[in-house]
Structure formats: structure tokens, C-alpha cells
């Protein structure tokens, strides 16, 4: 059985760090120095957040903030981003129950026991459960980042279509022809009448 699900030995620090992340500027790399100097969290208890964030998909393997991290800092997609992060980090639970986030505390613990093979009273089981629950406080599972992005893309596409239609409506397809006809040198009106009659019959009526 796997015990690689993300958790912190002190699950309560999750909420504190996430709140600070929303306030601080996105770093080039999320390092221990950034955690301590910028966010103000010093000590091994807080450093454990970095590997946790990587498992959740908030940070890439090299410590650079992922798109999910940036979506979390955006108020419009923040709750949906954490929901996506939870589903990514706890795939083992969601593979057994796609509605893991709706389970009661007792049923959630039971699912963790099933996935890990550990005893119910094991410290790791408790830490996984509490870490999950602390993350869930920031999540909204009614919508996901993917659906929000799809909506944004759809809206953009609709705007492009409207612009294309408007552009087509502005196009004027009236064509004008300029015909230069060298008239012969003559004083005979019949010649001019014949020429204009031919033009009228062959061009103007078309």
C-alpha cells in the first residue's frame, strides 16, 4: 500500500502559508529563502510545505511556481485552483471515490486507511486527513480551473466571431469599372450614336 500522499506533520501551517502566498508577489522560484525572508515562516515545520506544494502541483519540480500556483493567487480562480491541486495530490483517494471532498471526517479517514494500509490511529493517517481538510477550506469543488479556462476561451472565441461578422458587414463589394474609349475623329453624329448604343447594350445592361 502507498503512503506517498502529501501531508504535513503540522497540518495547521497550510492555511497560514497559503494566505501569505496570496498576498506576496509570485517568485521566480519558491525557495526556503523566499519562505523565510518574504513570507516570514522559519524552521523545518514550514519548510515541509515546499515538497507538499510540489506534490499538489502548485510548484514545479525545480521550485518554480506552476500555472496552478498563479491561478490560486487570482481571486477569480483561487478556490478552483486549490480544488484542482487537491485532486492532483490525492489521486489515490479520488481513484477510489471521485467525491472524496464530500465525505465526512470518519469516512475520509476510512478511505485513507484503505489507500495506505495503515492503522486507523496511525499518526500519518491523521496528518493526511488534517492536511486534506485544511486545504479543502480554500477550495471550491463546484468549479474547476479547467472549466473556467474553457469559459474564458469560449468567450474569446465568441468575440472573435462577432468581430469577423462585423468586419464582413463593413466590406463593400460594389465594383466600379473605368473604360477609356478613344473616339474617332468625325463630325458625323451617327458614329457617336452607334458607339454609345453598343456600350449601353453590351456593358450597362450587364
Stronger pLDDT, 80 or 158, i.e. the higher one: 80
Average pLDDT for the chain: 82
68 near 58, Cβ under 8 Å?
A: yes
At residue 156 the predicted structure's pLDDT band, cuts being 50, 70 and 90, is very low
Strand residues in 44-198 grouped as ranges (E): none
DSSP state of 101: G
Q: What is the pLDDT of residue 188?
A: 66
Q: pLDDT by residue (tens digit) across 77-131?
A: 999 999 999 999 999 999 999 999 999 999 999 999 999 999 999 999 999 999 9
Q: What is the pLDDT of residue 189?
A: 67
85 near 56, Cβ under 8 Å?
A: yes
Say if residue 146's pLDDT is above 50.
Answer: yes
Say if residue 153's pLDDT is above 70.
Answer: no
Q: What is the pLDDT of residue 191?
A: 64
At residue 199 the predicted structure's pLDDT band, cuts being 50, 70 and 90, is low
What is the distance between the alpha carbons of residues 82 and 105, in angstroms, rounded to a whole number? Answer: 19
**If DSSP codes are grouped into helix, strand and coil, which group holds residue 3?**
coil
Nearest to 89 by CA among 110, 112, 73: 112
Task: Find the helix or strand (DSSP H, E) in which 65 lies.
Answer: none
DSSP structure string for 109-171: HHHHHHHH---TT-HHHHHHHHHHHHHHTT--TTS-HHHHHHHHHHHHHHHHHHHHHHHHHH-
Q: What is the pLDDT of residue 93?
A: 97
Say if residue 18's pLDDT is above 80.
Answer: yes
Q: What is the pLDDT of residue 193?
A: 72
Highest mean pLDDT among 151-155, 181-185, 195-199, 201-205: 195-199
Q: pLDDT by residue (tens digit) across 25-68?
A: 999 999 999 999 999 999 889 999 999 999 999 999 999 999 99
Say if residue 181's pLDDT is above 90.
Answer: no
Amino acid at each position: 500500500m502507498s503512503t506517498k500522499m502529501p501531508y504535513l506533520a503540522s497540518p495547521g501551517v497550510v492555511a497560514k502559508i497559503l494566505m501569505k502566498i496570496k498576498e506576496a508577489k509570485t517568485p521566480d522560484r519558491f525557495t526556503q529563502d523566499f519562505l523565510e525572508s518574504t513570507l516570514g515562516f522559519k524552521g523545518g515545520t514550514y519548510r515541509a510545505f515546499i515538497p507538499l506544494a510540489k506534490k499538489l502541483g502548485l510548484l514545479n519540480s525545480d521550485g518554480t511556481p506552476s500555472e496552478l500556483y498563479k491561478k490560486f493567487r487570482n481571486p477569480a480562480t483561487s478556490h478552483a485552483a486549490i480544488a484542482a491541486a487537491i485532486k492532483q495530490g490525492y489521486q489515490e483517494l479520488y481513484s477510489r471515490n471521485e467525491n472524496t471532498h464530500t465525505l465526512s471526517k470518519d469516512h475520509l479517514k476510512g478511505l485513507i486507511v484503505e489507500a495506505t494500509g495503515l492503522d486507523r490511529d496511525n499518526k500519518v493517517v491523521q496528518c493526511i486527513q488534517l492536511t486534506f481538510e485544511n486545504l479543502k477550506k480554500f477550495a471550491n469543488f463546484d468549479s474547476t480551473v479547467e472549466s473556467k479556462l474553457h469559459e474564458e476561451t469560449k468567450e474569446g472565441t465568441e468575440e472573435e466571431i462577432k468581430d469577423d461578422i462585423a468586419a464582413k458587414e463593413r466590406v463593400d463589394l460594389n465594383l466600379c469599372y473605368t473604360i477609356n474609349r478613344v473616339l474617332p475623329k468625325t463630325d458625323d453624329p451617327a458614329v457617336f450614336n452607334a458607339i454609345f448604343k453598343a456600350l449601353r447594350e453590351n456593358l450597362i445592361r450587364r
